[in-house]
């Protein structure tokens, strides 16, 4: 079970995390989790370039190791890089020491102040531990969850949800993964075309 639009109550429970950007700006902040990988990440990069868009890629360290050429292309295109742990760990079921070490190993590869917890699951003691490890760390959640990872969600429904709830300052989650690709390939170009015609800019964090 997941919600496309993050409830205000959840944002208030974790005020130290980043859920959205300035609501006064006509900007959308696209983010992509779980890459980099061949085929899917290059498709995203090509689509972004068509709209002169910048985005933020929360990378799994193990995928960076496996696909360094794809990772270098993300950087070369001027997008922001974020840490998504080395092995996509689920915070709620992972001991804090293990979680922090996995984060640290990924940080050794990426050296970035941006972090998103996989699945959006992180314990308060883990937040504290990561902030000690990386002073100035910015933990990013989201305003809009596209649901592109849901294999039971039709692409048309995915697009409808994203367009319905995205607005000024929204941080939108997509996934540059093989699992999400059937929906991402359909939704991303159509959504960006729609938003672009509405006057939105696309910025990275």
Write out the catalytic residue numbers: 33, 175
Q: In terms of DSSP bridges, do strands 201-202 and 171-175 run parallel, antiparallel, or are they unpaired?
A: unpaired
Confirm if 51 and 28 have CB atoms less than 8 A apart.
no
Residue in the structure block whose two tokens are 């922090």: 100
Backbone angles phi, psi at 163, to 5 degrees: -70, -35
> Which stretch of DSSP H or E encloses residue 4?
none
Mapped onto helix, strand or coil, the DSSP state of residue 94 is: coil
The two three-digit tokens of residue 67, written as one number: 């696909």
| 47 alpha carbon, distance to own chain's centre | 16
| Number of other residues whose CB lies within 10 A of the CB of residue 129 | 18
- 160 contacts 5 by C-beta, under 8 angstroms: no
């Amino acid at each position: 079970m997941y919600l496309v639009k993050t409830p205000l109550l959840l944002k208030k429970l974790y005020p130290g995390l980043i859920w959205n950007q300035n609501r006064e700006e006509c900007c959308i902040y696209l983010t992509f989790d779980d890459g980099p990988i061949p085929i899917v990440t290059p498709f995203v990069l090509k689509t972004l370039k068509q709209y002169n868009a910048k985005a933020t890629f929360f990378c799994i360290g193990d995928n960076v190791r496996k696909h360094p050429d794809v990772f270098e292309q993300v950087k070369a295109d001027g997008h922001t890089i974020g840490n998504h742990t080395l092995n996509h760990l689920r915070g709620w079921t992972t001991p804090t020491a293990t979680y922090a070490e996995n984060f640290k190993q990924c940080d050794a590869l990426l050296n970035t102040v941006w972090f998103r917890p996989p699945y959006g699951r992180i314990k308060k003691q883990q937040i504290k531990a990561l902030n000690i490890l990386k002073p100035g760390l910015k933990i990013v959640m989201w305003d809009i969850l596209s649901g592109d990872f849901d294999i039971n969600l039709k692409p048309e429904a995915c697009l409808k949800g994203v367009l319905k709830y995205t607005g000024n300052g929204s941080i939108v989650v997509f996934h540059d993964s093989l699992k999400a690709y059937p929906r991402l390939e359909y939704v991303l170009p159509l959504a960006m075309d729609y938003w672009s015609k509405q006057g939105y800019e696309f910025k990275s964090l």
